[in-house]
Amino acid sequence: SQQGEEDPQALSIQEGENATMNCSYKTSINNLQWYRQNSGRGLVHLILIRSNEREKHSGRLRVTLDTSKKSSSLLITASRAADTASYFCATSSAGANNLFFGTGTRLTVIP
């Protein structure tokens, strides 16, 4: 079974707009990570946020974490056509080295 659920399942926006994806999870975590997967490719790590952090930035990415609500969001600003991909959140529990992935959000950025 998968730990997280992403929302929305699919998102289509115009180039230059911002994209927001949400992730909800079920159990206590040590950290939460976001990955991108282009069609037919493996996953690429984007950003990691620890359970004691509330917000983190990396380039055009902004991640928030609310452990009280067991949720996270990924914001991609000024989207580009190259951002078209599936985005997955993944959680890791304390003392565990495994990641549990959500169902993913399919993002399409229209040029």
Partner 1 sequence: EAGVVQSPRYKIIEKKQPVAFWCNPISGHNTLYWYLQNLGQGPELLIRYENEEAVDDSQLPKDRFSAERLKGVDSTLKIQPAELGDSAVYLCASRVGGNYNEQFFGPGTRLTVL
Q: Which residues bind partner 1 (CB under 8 A)?
A: 2, 4, 30-31, 33, 35, 40-45, 48, 50, 88, 90, 92, 97-104
- 8 Å CB contact between 2 and 100: yes
CB of 43 vs partner 1, minimal distance in Å: 4
Residue type, 9: Q
CB of 75 vs partner 1, minimal distance in Å: 20
Helix (H) or strand (E) holding 92: strand 85-92
* DSSP at 68: T
CB of 83 vs partner 1, minimal distance in Å: 18
